[in-house]
């Protein structure tokens, strides 16, 4: 049963990532002390879900989020890159005007504080 929940949630997120035309998945909030804060799913280094929030599972069960199309999904997803089951980074899916955090918000502030583009974050902040 638990594996079914993970597979369903992963399907929702992957469909949302690749099927929508305007998503906010290119940014993160670097000032969050815990990248998992508010996340609905945490993916491990093998792209498999480590956990899914009760809220996301509830929305899938109630038909609010369609696991086949990703319709209805929006929020934060987190990633564990080193396999310690702790989120290392997070990003937004379908959040903001037209489902996207505006580029001006991603590039206007300092690179390693607040809302920033993931490319900038990984090139200038990680390991710096």
The model's pLDDT over 20-38, given as tens digits with 9 standing for 90+, comes to 433 445 888 888 889 999 9
The model's pLDDT over 94-127, given as tens digits with 9 standing for 90+, comes to 887 777 777 787 788 888 888 888 888 888 888 7
Task: Choose between 88 and 69: higher pLDDT.
Answer: 88
pLDDT at 3 over 80: no
**Is residue 79 a contact partner of residue 43, using CB atoms and an 8 Å limit?**
yes
117 membership: H or E segment, kind and range: strand 115-117
Listed by start position, the domains of the chain span: 2-125
């Amino acid at each position: 049963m638990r594996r079914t929940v993970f597979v369903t949630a992963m399907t929702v997120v992957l469909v949302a990532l690749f099927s929508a035309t305007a998503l906010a998945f290119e940014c993160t909030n670097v000032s969050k002390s815990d990248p998992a804060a508010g996340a609905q799913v945490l993916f491990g280094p093998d792209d498999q879900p480590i956990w899914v929030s009760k809220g996301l599972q509830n929305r899938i069960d109630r038909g609010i989020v369609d696991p086949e199309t990703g319709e209805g999904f929006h929020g934060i997803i987190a990633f564990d890159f080193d396999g310690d089951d702790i989120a290392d980074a997070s990003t937004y899916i379908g959040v903001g005007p037209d489902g996207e955090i505006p580029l001006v918000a991603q590039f206007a502030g300092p690179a390693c504080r607040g809302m920033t583009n993931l490319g900038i974050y990984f090139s200038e902040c990680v390991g710096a």
